[in-house]
Structure 1
Amino acid sequence: MMREISAAQAMEHAQRGDAVILDVRPQVVRHQGSVPGALVVEPGELTGKLMANPRVDRDAEVAVVALNAQTDEIESSLSRLGFTKLVRIAGGFMALRGSA
């Protein structure tokens, strides 16, 4: 299970260049808004689009924003792709929106 960090920590890590915030919420949910600077990938496109993106470093921290029901599946997929520093953001998108 991914460890949790606060939204403020996730934003700070991303701003320092130590992490990538990965928004894996489906498009139908992203009407709530976007996360500044986040890499947006549809849940079913992790392998193709994520791995082709030059911002992605398997050794960097990846802070995941996903639907609660999909978080475990996203974590498994990212782990299979070789990512080892996965974290989930406590409070998800709503917490990030409040700290942006």
Structure 2
Amino acid sequence: MREITAAQAMEQAQRGDTVILDVRPQIVRHQGSVPGAVVVDPDALTGKLKANPRLNPDAEVAVVALNAQTEEIESRLSRLGYTKLARIAGGFKALRDRS
């Protein structure tokens, strides 16, 4: 998965070029939310993606996940056909500090 900065992710999302996908578990989302992000619990990843029209395999997806889960999330998304994936450098903290 390529890496982009929080600034790049926010700018691309505001232009409509990228969907920010927040797959942090609910227990850590108390830290805050990412404006405009699609929020999916890691355990519900498959079903929630299919149900969300903003997320299709052709979409550019910037992922916010726990560091320990990032590779597993990438693997699951790849198996679902997502090929335009990016990891946000610094994760949620970088996005929060960017706002």
Whether the TM-score (by the shorter chain) exceeds 0.5 is: yes
Q: Which deviates more from structure 2 when the two are superposed, residues 45-54 or residues 63-72?
A: 45-54
Q: Which deviates more from structure 2 when the two are superposed, residues 25-34 or residues 52-61?
A: 52-61
Aligned residues with identical type, % of pairs: 80
Specify the alignment match of 2:57 in structure 1: 58
| Displacement of 1:57 | 2.2
1:83 and 1:60 map into 2 onto residues whose CA distance is 8
Q: Secondary structure at the match of 1:28?
A: helix
- TM-score w.r.t. structure 2 length? 0.97
Q: Secondary structure at the match of 2:26?
A: coil
Query: Which aligned segments of 4 or more residues in structure 1 are displaced greater than 3 angstroms?
Result: none
Q: How many residues are matched?
A: 99
Q: Secondary structure at the match of 2:19?
A: strand
Q: 5+ residue gaps in structure 1?
A: none
> What CA RMSD, in Å, does the superposition of the two structures yield over aligned residues?
0.6
- TM-score w.r.t. structure 1 length? 0.97
Which residue type is aligned with residue 28 of structure 2?
V
Q: 5+ residue gaps in structure 2?
A: none
| Displacement of 1:58 | 1.3
Q: Which string of whole-angstrom CA distances, capped at 9 and with x for unpartnered residues, describes residues 59-85 of structure 1?
A: 121000000000000000000000000
